[in-house]
Structure 1
Amino acid sequence: MDKPLTIAVCVGEASGDLLGAHLIKALKQRCPNARFVGIGGARMIAEGFESLYDQEKLAVRGIVEVLRHLPEILKIRKGLVRQLTDIRPDVFVGIDAPDFNLGVAEKLKAAGIPTVHYVSPSVWAWRRERVNTIIRQVNRVLCLFPMEPQLYLDAGGKAEFVGHPMAETMPLKADRTAAREILGLPSEKTVFAVLPGSSMGEINRMAPLFFQTASLLLQRYPDAQFLLPAATAAATARLTEILAEPEFAKLPIKMLEKQAATACTAADAVLVTSGTATLEVALCKRPMVISYKLAALTYAYVKRKVQVQHVGLPNILLGKEAVPELLQHDATPDKLAAAVTQWYDHPEAVAALEADFEQLHLMLKKNTAELAAAAVLEEAKSAH
């Protein structure tokens, strides 16, 4: 009897679990009897996935945290490679988490198992030399952004643009009135959203700066309300501590559990730390000011390595500075408040930006899971 098609998948964190669940659903439609095995989270397990290890053990952020858990992570990686080499899946799909997954892929590819990496690392932004390493480690890369595949093709690899899942799940027209109703906010109120980032390092650097900016905005707009979505329980705890400091204790800031898209849609303007969140704000069609600060030495190193004119995803994708970026020395409360005010005081500029963001949304909106499933099956067949 033929063994069923076996697809190995490995994800490192919650966002990967969601991509993985969508991919498994799309693959099951084409191959109802397929077996899915590897490392996955709750959403993938709900789709019938067999997880050989607890996915939470891989969701470690920050250098110190990673170092502390490194022996365990390496042990899991070794065990996973050993088990998958025994199982001999038809294809291995590493979803995001490149530091973990590309190492697994390299060993499986050497053992004759086709490998796919789903979500290209930001090679277009910095450390472009990684492209050559990645195409040695995997047979194919599935990219979320349209400018990525060419880098792999130019280096002799296989890659394609499958669209961004966020562009599929978010509405093309953002409903500000509905978002305000959900959050219990009057339609005419001045509302700003503040997104200082999700990792502890980002929160510690950016939250005080953003709260100082909020104080300045409050002087200009005394009835303003600030929304602060927190991604995790740890983020909520740390933000609560910072807000309890005397200089911030009186700020009218409403903390929300997750709900970032609702908060951004409801806001007149958004102050956001550079990262994936900037794309979410763009898909909410809201004006934003992007900021980032790093330790001085890290910044000097990164600045030398960065190969793009802009750091914010909306600006990179649109190929122009559609929204202001205030980084490092320019990231001051005065400059940030002035940039937010510019948006608030110029509705005609906001209307033009909304049109740009709608174009961006359409550019990224594809049938992502279907395209990814087709590519994965193509690689699986290539081995036979």
Structure 2
Amino acid sequence: MVAGESSGDLLASRLLSGLRPQLPDALIHGIGGSRMAEYGFRSDWSMEKLSVRGLFEVLAHYREIKGIQNNLRDQLLAEKPAVFIGVDAPDFNFGLEAQLKQSGIPTMHFISPSIWAWRGGRIKKIARAVSHMLVVFPFEEEIYRKAGVPVTYVGYPLAEVIPMEPDTAAARVELGLPADARVVAILPGSRMSELKYNTAAFIGAAKRLAQRDSSIRFVVPMAGDKQQAYFNELLSKAGLTEVSIQVVAGRSHTAIAAADAVLVASGTATLEVALFKKPMVIAYKMMRASWAILRHMGYQPWVGLPNILAREFVVPELLQDAATPEQLADALWKQLDDEQHRENLYHRFTEMHHALLRDTAKESAQAVLQLIGRSANS
């Protein structure tokens, strides 16, 4: 198995929670994180090596990443595992999967890339690389069936983990936040490159919100010690240390649950915020050269997962040059201040949560067992 970042580690752990009891003695290894390790997964390389996003950012680390891919490929071709499972990280995993499948090793990919949002032509490459696709959104099944790719809809794993009615009060107690304060969670991303480009604008927005209402409390969860140190360094360089924020290690779900509104980098976290039924502003910044290319590759108007699932802009998206501190602060203020909008979002996100509920661990594990010709234990 290969997972390339913290969200993939979490998703993979849901699959492993269903698979490990069925294969208690199996060696399961590759690249992954601490949550996968809880189910006996052995990581041969650090997951952080793959946590790079953006065309030019990847190029800067290309040699190292390609070296890891080649070494892992050679190891697996010699080992001939029962199955290889790529968890997200499509740019790394699809190339590896294609070579393994060509050599007769069954390949499974967990979570489809957003071919329906960006590079639609990629489906032909996926068909050559993947023996079986696990998808987390119901509309994705038809896309793969039409392309002749075996597919199973397993539901969105976090829809089971996140409660239908989040306990905001308990989350605030855990974080030491006042019960009656207005709280904004800021999630600038888990990758170092995301922190580099998003931090100044995100915290600049917090500064402007604090000027409007000095009682607002801000909480920023960080994915790890390295990210937290880098975030604090960027705060200092940007001269934003006067903004009163609470930085917490991990506990992103607790921070979201505690919040009245969330400023979140585009990606998997946007759907987590929706499952917590929280108003949000989706934003993203990247290297200008990367943006110049990627901005022309989308063929639908939405980037954020909640908007894509809703098929409309239920929450605002502010990307690249539009993601200024001023515009982010204005958009966040509405998320905090418009009670009718907040109520409407709660109902929309509750409907979305119900639609994404499945027994993901069981469904995904069953698909793996069928692919490798094993039957489930009763």
TM-score relative to the length of structure 1: 0.88
What residue is the counterpart of 1:215 in the other structure? 207
Deviations 1:103-155 (A, max 9, x none): 22222212222211112122121111111101111111111222323222222
* Counterpart in the other structure of 2:111: 119
Indicate the percent of aligned positions where both proteins have the same amino acid.
42
Superposed, which structure 2 residues align to 1:136-155 within 5 Å? 136-155=128-147
Residue 254 of structure 2: SS of its match in structure 1?
A: helix
Number of the residue aligned with 1:323 = 315
Offset at residue 370 of structure 1 (A) = 1.0
Superposition CA RMSD, Å:
2.5
Gaps of 5+ in 1: 1-8
Which sits farther off after the overlay, 264-273 or 246-255? 246-255
Task: Select the residue among 343, 355, 366 that pairs with 2:347.
Answer: 355
C-alpha separation between the residues in 2 aligned to 1:37 and 1:345?
48
* Runs of 4+ displaced beyond 6 Å: none
Match of 1:61 in 2: 52
Unaligned runs of 5+ in 2: none
Distance 1:10 1:342 in 2: 40
Bigger Cα displacement from structure 2, 356-365 vs 339-348: 339-348
Contact 2:135/2:151 (CA < 8 Å) preserved in 1?
Answer: yes
User: What letter matches 1:165 in structure 2?
Assistant: P
Match for residue 376 of structure 1 among 368, 372, 377: 368
CA contact 1:287–1:353 (8 Å) conserved in 2: yes
91, 98, 103: which one pairs with 2:95?
Answer: 103
Displacement after TM superposition at 1:372 (Å):
0.9
- 2:10 and 2:132 mapped to 1: Cα distance? 21
Take 1:36 and 1:334, find their aligned partners in 2: how far apart are those partners?
A: 48
> 1:246 Cα shift?
7.2
Q: How far apart in 1 are the matches of 2:290 and 2:270?
A: 22
Correspondence for 2:3: 11
Distance 2:308 2:328 in 1: 20
Alignment of 1:174-323 (within 5 A): 174-245=166-237, 247-323=239-315
Aligned partner letter, 2:303:
V
Structure 2 equivalent of residue 29 of structure 1: 21
Q: Secondary structure at the match of 1:304?
A: coil
**Cα pair 1:229 1:258 within 8 Å, conserved:** yes
CA change 1:368–1:225 in 2 (3 A) is same
TM-score by length of 2: 0.89
Partner amino acid for 1:188? D
Question: 1-side partners of 2:166 and 2:58: how far apart?
Answer: 38
* Structure 2 CA distance for aligned equivalents of residues 158 and 170 of structure 1: 29
Offset at 1:354?
0.7
Question: Could you tell me how far apart the structure 2 residues matched to 1:309 and 1:64 are?
Answer: 24
Query: Please, which of 148, 161, 165 is the counterpart of residue 156 of structure 1?
Result: 148
Instruction: Say which is worse superposed, 327-336 or 117-126, in terms of deviation.
Output: 327-336
Inter-CA distance 211–41: structure 2 relative to 1 (3 Å threshold):
closer
Assess, with a 3 A threshold, how the Cα gap between structure 1 residues 212 and 152 changes in structure 2: closer, same or farther: same
Change (3 A) 1:188 1:24: closer
The residue correspondences of 1:68-87 to structure 2 (distance < 5 A) are: 70-87=62-79
